[in-house]
Structure 1
Amino acid sequence: MTIVRRVARPLLAAPLIQSGVDVARHPGPHAEAAKPVLNQVSGPLRLPNDPVMVVRSAGAVTAVAGSLLALGRLPRLSALAIVATAPVVQPVEPFWKEKDPELRRQKQATFVKTLGLIGGALLATVDTEGKPSVAYRGRKARKAATLALHEAREDAAESVTAVKVSGRKAAKQARRSAKQAAKEAGKTSRRSRRKAEKIAAQQAARAQKAARKGRAALPV
């Protein structure tokens, strides 16, 4: 946390804490001022039909959130809670309807101060202290996921192509091996046939020679 934030957050939180404590301790007048707002939001938000209890609870939330903001604990969430309870804790008084000039100036000054506090709290809700915001991190994560998916698809396509190429190469190699085996088998068959013919010729020659010797040994 920088020095500016260490100083600015307590300064912003001080009037918020004071107003929250005051509303929690004395909710009656604030409940009367906040009735128009409560009448509009009680139904959609399902709030209890007890303006005093609602205003007191909102004041307590503002005081606690302001304390956390001053300490730098959960600053963005605390500021968001302050903004959410501002319509009840910091109700807008219609100063323009005031007839007394002095009271009108006082209410107008209070109105402007309230707007300033709410504006400061709004700025605190988007203060990421130099860190990437949730929206930025979400967009970055989405881009990274899209890129990873695209790369995965490309890798899958390359793998399929490689498998097809490997299959064609394997089939071609198998055909070559089969042709070579058939060729070698043919050569072996021809050699065996020639060898068998040679052996048969030798045996026939020996038989003819033995026959001639036998005829020569017979008496005339």
Structure 2
Amino acid sequence: MSPVRTVARLFLSTIFVVSGARSVARPTAFVPRAQKVTEKVGPLFEKTHPSLPTDAETLVRLNGAAQVVAGLLLATGRLTRPAAAVLASTLVPTTLAAHPFWTVKDPMERRHQETHFMKNLGLFGGLLLAASDTQGRPGLAWRASHYAGHSKHALEHGRHNLDHGLHQLGHSGESVRRAARTARREAKIAYRAAAVGRKLPS
């Protein structure tokens, strides 16, 4: 891992670890804003599975815990791509709940919330880059196409060897048949010579 990637992941994950820890420790401070989102997604959770939590406080805690765990994984370089994807998914409800600038009427407050919204949008873009970063290694799409091409080449090579082997087998079979015909002719000649020898007077 390059030093630039290490530092960048550390900086990118810090805000999620800190804010996630605050959400887990003191969720009540975030509940009023989170309710704007949980009131809409709660019924969807109930339809998916009745045992899923739907209250705002529990969802705030779960979202914060996911940010802490994924942020630590990203900072330490473990499972970085899945961790970045998780952080990106947690950032969506957080941003919608905390910074809905389009609903604010006061011009100054609207600009303030819009700035935070754009900041989170930039974080989201950074997380998408981290989620797609293969650290210079070939990605799954390239490896799949490479292995497919390699398998096709191997199949064509095997088919060529098979055709060559059948061709050689055909030549060998013809040689065996020719040798058998020669042996039969020689046997007939020897038989006739022996028969003539028996007929001659001694």
Normalised to the residue count of structure 2, the TM-score between the two structures is 0.86
Write the deviation string for residues 13-54 of structure 1: whole angstroms up to 9, x where unpaired: 111212222232315235314226625853686443334323
For 1:71, the equivalent position in structure 2 comes to: 76
Matched, 1:3 2:9: no
Q: Tell me which amino acid in the other structure corresponds to 2:14.
A: A
1:24–1:56 Cα contact (<8 Å) kept = yes
Matched, 1:58 2:84: no
Matched, 1:167 2:173: yes
Give ranges in structure 1 of 5+ residues lacking alignment.
200-220
CA shift in 2, pair 1:43/1:156, >3 Å: farther
For 2:137, the equivalent position in structure 1 comes to: 131
For 1:86, the equivalent position in structure 2 comes to: 91
For 1:108, the equivalent position in structure 2 comes to: 114
The CA distance in 2 between the partners of 1:18 and 1:40, in whole Å, is 30
Shift of 1:74: 1.3
Shift of 1:117: 0.9
For 1:23, the equivalent position in structure 2 comes to: 23
2:42–2:54 Cα contact (<8 Å) kept = no
Alignment match of 2:193 (pick from 168, 173, 187): 187
Write the deviation string for residues 87-131 of structure 1: whole angstroms up to 9, x where unpaired: 233335321221112211221111011111111110001111111
Give ranges in structure 2 of 5+ residues lacking alignment.
none
The CA distance in 1 between the partners of 2:150 and 2:56, in whole Å, is 49
Q: Return the index of the structure with the highest Cα Rg.
A: 1
CA shift in 2, pair 1:163/1:48, >3 Å: farther
2:16–2:67 Cα contact (<8 Å) kept = yes
2:38–2:54 Cα contact (<8 Å) kept = no
Which aligned segments of 4 or more residues in structure 1 are displaced greater than 4 angstroms? Answer: 43-47
Q: Tell me which amino acid in the other structure corresponds to 1:20.
A: G
Q: Summarize the alignment of residues 193-212 of structure 1 with structure 2, pairs less than 5 Å apart.
A: 193-194=199-200, 197=201, 199=202
For 2:102, the equivalent position in structure 1 comes to: 96
Across the two proteins, how many residue pairs are aligned to each other?
196
For 2:153, the equivalent position in structure 1 comes to: 147
2:38–2:56 Cα contact (<8 Å) kept = yes
Report the identity percentage.
32
Normalised to the residue count of structure 1, the TM-score between the two structures is 0.79
1:42–1:48 Cα contact (<8 Å) kept = yes
CA RMSD across the alignment: 2.2
